Amino acid sequence: MTFRYECLHQDKHCQARLGRLHTPRGIVDLPTFMPVGTRGSVKGLTIEMVQQTGAQIILGNTYHLALRPGEEIVAALGGLHEFTGWSGPILTDSGGFQVFSLEKLNKIDEQGVVFRSAIDGRLVHLTPERSMEIQQQLGSDIAMVLDHVPPLPSTPAVIADACQRSLRWAARCLQVPPKSEQVLFGIVQGGLDVGLRKMCAEELVAMDFPGYAIGGLSVGEAPTDMYRTIAATTPHLPLEKPRYLMGVGTPTDLLEAIGLGIDMFDCVMPTRNGRNAMVFTHQGSLRLKNQKHSRDRRPLDEQLPTPYSHYSRGYLRHLFLAGEMLGPILASFHNLAYYADLMRLAREAIAADCYLDFVAQQKSNWRQPGADLG
């Protein structure tokens, strides 16, 4: 099976799309959420548990895996699929976001980025060509171009410079001969400048990537600014190719972005919040350490049956207060299962041309009494 995107239906009232991503390792139903397996592991969960959440595709991190254990070791152990035990599709990011997050520890020039390893302090050189080489050795199904992610807010000159550099780096990534059936996605940059976003999208489309991502968002800007930027970008991306919003986000962010034409998401929020005793449910978010849950026999979400939903809210609260590692494991599992279920419900709503009503109902449900957060 070769890589291709198939659009099954677009909601009559918005840009939400129901689709399928055909890959050599299986079909992914879109819209979809990709659990983040930063270092070859979705934190706290076995790969079998990740499969039980309903996830169809996961994400690995080029930067972290290159530092430890090293891409050569991953390749020697059969590539990322055999290394992790995940048989479905895997997407690897390029390391660009780590360049952003390590801003004070790196030096960026036209060639690439130089930074010190957070593990042993050695100097690491990451160029577009090197990022491609690492991702090829990891053996992911979808690789990402190396991009320059500027912090927000930044001056217009800094944003424009990073955007242009990202375009030049994308062209260099394309010059690296592909390995096996791995495909490469371009990444649209441009900060909150809709003119730059339009220009960057059009330049990348001219390079003819198999898919396109929107990067450089969810880095501290207001949600309204993020939605405005997405809305200004997606019209300039091809209808016949997948669209991926990187590093986003909350359930509200996902639903808003789907309505603007986004197909794919990733974020550490479900597992990070789970490890910190905060879970998402169809009725709103819960802080499990709150006293009101101490005698609550209900499952976390009565609308979401899972292999572990027989554990009560009261029991999970006890696990967190007692410092038992099972608490973060079960909460992380639940959050990923919730995200997968939210995507399933979104797909059903798009197919029925009632996506906007679905979003309104979800937001109303999240505001009902009983939730700890909106």
Q: How far is CA 302 from CA 264, 298, 342, 369, in A?
A: 27, 7, 14, 15
pTM for this model (two decimals):
0.96
The pairing of beta strand 211-214 with beta strand 243-245 = parallel
Model pLDDT, residue 97: 75
- Is the pLDDT at 141 greater than 90, yes or no? yes
Within 8 A by CB and 6+ apart from 238, the residues are 205, 212
Label residue 23 left, alpha or beta by phi (over 0 means left) and psi (-120 to 50 means alpha): beta
The three-class DSSP label of residue 358 is: helix
What gap in Å lies between CA 356 and CA 338, rounded to an integer?
A: 20
pLDDT at residue 323, rounded to an integer: 98
Q: List the Cα angle 111/113/117 in 5-degree steps.
A: 145
pLDDT higher than 90, residue 106: no
Q: Average the pLDDT over 254-283 and give the result.
A: 98
Provide the pLDDT for residue 105.
60
pLDDT, mean of residues 3-22: 98
The band of 193, judged by pLDDT with boundaries at 50, 70 and 90, is: very high
Tell me the pLDDT tens digit for each residue of 199-250: 999 999 999 999 999 999 998 899 999 999 999 999 999 999 999 999 999 9
pLDDT higher than 70, residue 100: no
The answer to whether residues 19 and 6 touch, using CB atoms and an 8 Å cutoff, is yes
- When pLDDT is cut at 50, 70 and 90, the band that residue 24 belongs to is very high
Q: At 123, is the pLDDT very low, low, confident or very high (cuts 50, 70, 90)?
A: confident
The candidate with the shortest Cα–Cα distance to 166, out of 136, 187, 196, is: 187
Least confident of 46-50, 110-114, 232-236, 293-297: 110-114
pLDDT at 55 over 70: yes
How many angstroms separate the CA atoms of 241 and 186, rounded? 11
Higher pLDDT, 371 or 242: 242
HSE-up of residue 213 (Cα within 13 Å, Cβ side) = 30
pLDDT at 40 over 50: yes
**Structure confidence at residue 104 (pLDDT):** 58
**Most confidently predicted of 47-51, 124-128, 217-221:** 47-51
Average pLDDT over residues 143-168: 94
Q: Which are the catalytic amino acids? A: 93, 266
Domains contained in the chain, CATH given: 4-267 (3.20.20.105), 277-366 (no CATH)
pLDDT in tens, 322-361: 999 999 999 999 999 999 999 999 999 999 999 999 999 9
Percent residues over pLDDT 70 in the chain: 97
Rounded distance, CA 42 to CA 59, Å?
Answer: 9
Q: Is 80 exceeded by the pLDDT of residue 1? A: no
- Helix, coil or strand: residue 312: coil
pLDDT classification of 374: cutoffs 50, 70, 90: very low
Assess whether pLDDT exceeds 90 at residue 368. no
